[in-house]
């Protein structure tokens, strides 16, 4: 176990020194501020765009702000995250940086454990800091009571990150180059979106974790409906990490 | 004054109005974006080798395309040092 | 006693047989030169010994312990210097060695003093900047530092000198030679003079098999004969000389005559003066005068050429 701790420390240092942590933080903070701003500006932009034609544009509420937040997180945030972690495992194998460590007695599984742990921390930090930003601005600029379950709506997003990360790590290890892992991830997510068409599967589809957040925001019981999807996501993620370990075990270093 | 000038003035006023209304959003946004850009510019200048492109190319990308530009550099342009 | 044995090891990539039924034994305490052309399978052999790649068949034992692919148990005994060692560019040399040391179970002051001692030994004590800015030679030295950090019983170096300049090579070979008696070294190379400088045992890998494995002294005695090398002004003259000397082969000191372009090499046995006398007498009888006439001791190049033919 100590080897895993040592490797995790190394992962953390890597994220810090290669500025991965810093860049992700800044980008997600920007997303966090942008979400309420977009909600605020959208009516004005609509008015301006229609060239003075008077139509009834409703005043934005906290719901619009949170809608923007989840849009930004799920349509931009996860892909920026995926880009920054694209070569997460493949690079180590390509460049041969694992050779010295493995011949010093580092068990291969601890590579995956360390990467998963630091990746998850990064994800939580990223969506979390954006969340806090959006929350603060929303509370100040849209002081209404339309969004009662702010934190509950956020929970599925974090769990989805765990699943997303496992796909990214497995993809990165299967691919022989940096972008193959990215492609794998995008394909998996696209397939999951397509699987939403199948009615009976919806409650189990991990993608529901990032598409039903607004429902939870207004009514807490929507979260209970997501239980199957959360369990599926976590079980799948554990399975994918296990698969990643098995694949790495068979890799020539 | 011509009509065009009036419009310009009007635009400027509008921009200023937008800024006074939304400065609590805009100031941190601008600081973050500038920070990201500066970090990328420093990296571009410090490391003479790039995976693709050259220094001038990346400087233009990083400075003129907000957010996406610096990310693109950090993901595709920065050479990994072993 | 042997620290490393490979028995009937085979490995192929696709249809290409890299190693065919390889048997290799490295005696404890030796500096073993593992020689072969580029692509002969030296790196593959080493990766198999370290459990980094899977052998198709055969047994590998390090210090009496079986090597298994993907497992690291036997790596406790070994230190490995890859041909191009890869590090994390964002760490300093000290940080990197500390991490390596921690992986092997070193802690506290023992770790700190070992790291400092190693850095000093390889001449990187004053390099405080990050590895990303290191030169090729510095990386190679950091590579040997990480390989020696655990004071392994067996040190495996893959082509350690090929990337270095002459001065770096000399320094590196001196460093390896200074380890004689402390650790067994298996080191691969295609530079034969390096082997002659520090190795006491040699194995020649060719076409996936170990063609020769013996102590350097035995090998010289067994294979190479001292030579007289003559050069002539024209190839025609050389050919003439060769035809003249051919009949002398296999008796009266002269062993073997070979000719290429303007050069004739005559392998001899016994006393030099006697052999030289025979050759010169024969040549002068027909007034065939060589441009140069020199005597050469047996060297590894000859042996290598002979084995590889």
Q: Is the pLDDT of residue B82 over 70?
A: no
Determine the straight-line distance between the first and last CA of chain C, rounded to whole angstroms. 32
List helix spans (H) across chain C: 42-49, 93-103, 108-121, 136-148, 166-177, 192-198, 216-222, 235-245, 272-285, 300-308
A107 token code pair:
């068990």
Q: Which CATH number fits domain C225-299: 3.40.50.720, 3.40.50.150, 3.40.50.12170, 3.30.70.980?
A: 3.30.70.980
Please give, rounded to a whole number of angstroms, the shortest distance from the CA of C27 to a CA of chain B: 35
Mean pLDDT by 10 residues, chain C (309 residues): 88 88 90 87 90 90 87 84 90 94 90 93 88 87 91 90 83 88 90 87 88 83 78 87 80 74 82 84 86 80 77
- Does C87 touch chain B if contact means CB atoms closer than 8 Å? yes
What band does B2 get if pLDDT is binned at 50, 70 and 90? very low
Q: What is the DSSP letter of C264?
A: E
Interface test with chain A among B10, B11, B31, B32, by most A beta carbons within 10 Å: B32
C88 to A107: CB separation less than 8 angstroms, yes or no: no
A99 to C52: CB separation less than 8 angstroms, yes or no: yes
Residues of chain B with C-beta less than 8 angstroms from the C-beta of C90: 81
Name which of C304, C303, C309 is nearest C226 in CA terms. Answer: C303
- Count of A-C CB contacts under 8 Å: 76
pTM of the full predicted structure? 0.83
What ipTM score was computed for the predicted complex, to two decimals?
0.87
Would you state the pLDDT for residue C224? 66
B82 to C90: CB separation less than 8 angstroms, yes or no: no
Interface test with chain C among B43, B48, B80, B82, by most C beta carbons within 10 Å: B82
| Vertex C307 angle, CA C301 and C309, to 5° | 100
Q: B73 and B44 in contact (C-beta within 8 Å)?
A: yes
Please give, rounded to a whole number of angstroms, the shortest distance from the CA of B76 to a CA of chain A: 9
Chains that touch C (3 or more CB pairs under 8 A): A, B
Residue B54 within any structural domain of the chain: yes
Residue with tokens 């500066």: B38
Nearest to B71 among A22, A33, A83 (CB): A83
Residues of chain B with C-beta less than 8 angstroms from the C-beta of C132: 81-82
**Chain B residue closest in CA terms to A32:** B29
Q: Where are the domains of chain C?
A: 2-222, 225-299
B80 to C89: CB separation less than 8 angstroms, yes or no: yes
Q: Is the pLDDT of residue B8 over 70?
A: no
Residue range A61-73: mean pLDDT, rounded:
92
Residues of chain A with C-beta less than 8 angstroms from the C-beta of C133: none
- pLDDT over 70, % of chain B: 79
Task: Work out how many domains chain B is built from and give that number.
Answer: 1
Would you state the pLDDT for residue A148? 86
Nearest to A102 among C72, C87, C146 (CB): C72
Residue B41 within any structural domain of the chain: yes
Name which of A24, A20, A170, A84 is nearest B76 in CA terms. Answer: A84
Residue B14 within any structural domain of the chain: no
Residue ranges making up the domain that contains B75: 24-82
Q: C214 and C62 in contact (C-beta within 8 Å)?
A: no
Q: A94 and A177 in contact (C-beta within 8 Å)?
A: yes
Residue B15 within any structural domain of the chain: no
Output the DSSP codes for C192-232. Answer: HHHHHHH-SEEEEEETTEEEEEEEHHHHHHHT---EEEEE-
Higher-confidence position of A45 and A141: A141
Residues of chain C with C-beta less than 8 angstroms from the C-beta of A249: 70
Q: Containing H/E element for A157? A: helix A150-174
A253 to C85: CB separation less than 8 angstroms, yes or no: no
What band does B1 get if pLDDT is binned at 50, 70 and 90? very low
- The Cα–Cα gap between C112 and C110 comes to 6
Q: What is the pLDDT of residues A226-236, one digit of tens each?
A: 899 999 999 99
Would you state the pLDDT for residue B24? 84
User: Per CATH, the architecture of C2-222 is what?
Assistant: 3-Layer(aba) Sandwich (3.40)
A141 to A22, A61, B24, B31: CA distances (angstroms): 28, 9, 10, 21
Please give, rounded to a whole number of angstroms, the shortest distance from the CA of C86 to a CA of chain B: 6
Residue range B67-78: mean pLDDT, rounded:
86
Q: What are phi and psi of C249, to 5 degrees?
A: -55, 145
Q: What is the pLDDT of residues A19-59, one digit of tens each?
A: 899 999 999 999 999 999 988 888 777 766 555 566 666 78
Q: Is the pLDDT of residue B68 over 70?
A: yes
C75 to A105: CB separation less than 8 angstroms, yes or no: yes
**Chain C residue closest in CA terms to B46:** C133
- Does C47 touch chain A if contact means CB atoms closer than 8 Å? yes
Q: A7 and A101 in contact (C-beta within 8 Å)?
A: yes
C88 to B82: CB separation less than 8 angstroms, yes or no: yes
Residue B12 within any structural domain of the chain: no
- Does B29 touch chain A if contact means CB atoms closer than 8 Å? yes
Please give, rounded to a whole number of angstroms, the shortest distance from the CA of B80 to a CA of chain C: 8
Q: C103 and A105 in contact (C-beta within 8 Å)?
A: yes
**Chain B residue closest in CA terms to C86:** B82
Name which of A124, A74, A174, A178 is nearest B75 in CA terms. Answer: A178
Q: Mean pLDDT for chain B?
A: 80
Residue ranges making up the domain that contains A232: 2-250
C189 token code pair:
């190379």
> Which one of A93-107, A114-128, B3-17 scores highest in mean pLDDT?
A114-128
**Chain C residue closest in CA terms to A95:** C86
- The Cα–Cα gap between A12 and A118 comes to 6
Q: What is the pLDDT of residues B18-44, one digit of tens each?
A: 777 788 888 899 999 999 999 889 888
User: What residues of chain C, 24 to 63, have a C-beta less than 8 Å from chain B?
Assistant: none
- Does C70 touch chain A if contact means CB atoms closer than 8 Å? yes
Nearest to A10 among C85, C99, C150 (CB): C99
A103 to C78: CB separation less than 8 angstroms, yes or no: yes
**Chain A residue closest in CA terms to B82:** A95
């Amino acid at each position: 176990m100590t080897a895993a701790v040592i490797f995790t420390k190394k992962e953390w240092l890597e994220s810090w020194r290669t500025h991965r942590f810093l860049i992700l933080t800044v980008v997600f903070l920007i997303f966090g501020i942008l979400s309420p701003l977009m909600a605020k500006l959208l009516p004005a932009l609509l008015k301006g765009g229609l060239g003075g034609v008077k139509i009834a544009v409703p005043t934005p509420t906290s719901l619009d702000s949170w809608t923007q937040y989840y849009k930004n997180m799920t349509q931009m945030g996860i892909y920026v995250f995926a880009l920054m972690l694209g070569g997460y495992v493949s690079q180590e194998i390509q460049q041969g940086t694992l050779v010295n460590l493995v011949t010093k007695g580092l068990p291969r599984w601890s590579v995956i454990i360390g990467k998963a742990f630091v990746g998850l921390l990064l994800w939580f930090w990223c969506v979390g800091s954006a969340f806090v930003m959006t929350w603060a601005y929303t509370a100040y600029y849209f002081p209404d009571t339309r969004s009662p379950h702010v934190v509950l709506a956020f929970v599925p997003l974090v769990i989805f990150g765990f699943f997303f990360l496992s796909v990214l790590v497995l993809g990165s290890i299967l691919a022989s180059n940096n972008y193959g892992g990215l492609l794998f991830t995008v394909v998996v997510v696209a397939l999951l979106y397509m699987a939403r068409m199948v009615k009976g599967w919806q409650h189990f589809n991990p993608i529901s974790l990032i598409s039903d957040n607004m429902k939870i925001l207004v009514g807490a019981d929507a979260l209970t409906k997501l239980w199957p999807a959360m369990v599926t996501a976590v079980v799948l993620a554990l399975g994918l990490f296990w698969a990643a370990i098995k694949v790495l075990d068979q890799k020539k270093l | 004054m011509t009509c065009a000038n009036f419009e310009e003035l009007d635009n400027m006023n509008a921009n200023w109005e937008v800024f006074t209304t939304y400065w609590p959003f805009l100031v941190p946004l601008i600081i973050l974006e500038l920070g990201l850009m500066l970090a990328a510019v420093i990296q571009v200048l410090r490391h003479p080798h790039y995976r693709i492109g050259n220094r001038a190319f990346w400087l233009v990308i990083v400075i003129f395309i907000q957010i996406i530009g610096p990310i693109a550099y950090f993901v595709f342009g920065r050479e990994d040092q072993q | 006693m042997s620290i490393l044995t490979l028995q009937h090891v085979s490995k192929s990539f696709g249809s290409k047989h890299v190693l065919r039924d390889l048997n290799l034994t490295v005696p404890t305490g030796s500096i073993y030169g593992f020689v072969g052309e580029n692509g002969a399978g030296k790196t593959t052999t080493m990766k198999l010994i370290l459990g980094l790649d899977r052998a198709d068949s055969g047994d590998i034992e390090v210090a009496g312990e079986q090597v298994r692919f993907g497992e690291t148990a036997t790596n406790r005994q070994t230190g490995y210097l890859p041909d191009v060692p890869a590090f994390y560019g964002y760490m300093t040399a000290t940080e990197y060695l500390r991490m390596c040391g921690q992986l092997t179970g070193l802690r506290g002051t023992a770790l700190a003093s070992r790291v400092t001692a190693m850095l000093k030994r390889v001449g990187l004590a004053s390099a405080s900047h990050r590895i990303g800015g290191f030169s090729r030679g510095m990386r190679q030295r950091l590579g040997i530092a990480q390989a020696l950090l655990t004071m392994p019983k067996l040190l495996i170096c893959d082509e350690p000198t090929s990337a270095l300049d002459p001065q770096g090579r000399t320094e590196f070979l001196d460093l390896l030679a200074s380890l004689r008696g402390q650790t067994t070294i298996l080191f691969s190379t295609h530079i034969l003079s390096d082997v002659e400088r520090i190795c006491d045992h040699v194995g020649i890998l060719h076409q996936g098999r170990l063609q020769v494995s013996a102590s350097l002294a035995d090998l010289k005695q067994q294979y190479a004969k001292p030579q007289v090398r003559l050069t002539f002004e024209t190839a025609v003259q050389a050919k003439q000389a060769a035809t003249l000397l051919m009949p002398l082969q296999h008796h009266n000191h002269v062993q073997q005559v070979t000719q290429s372009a303007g050069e004739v090499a005559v392998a001899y046995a016994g006393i030099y003066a006697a052999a030289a006398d025979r050759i010169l007498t024969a040549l002068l009888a027909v007034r065939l005068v060589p441009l140069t006439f020199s005597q050469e001791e047996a060297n590894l190049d000859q042996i290598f050429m002979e084995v590889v033919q």
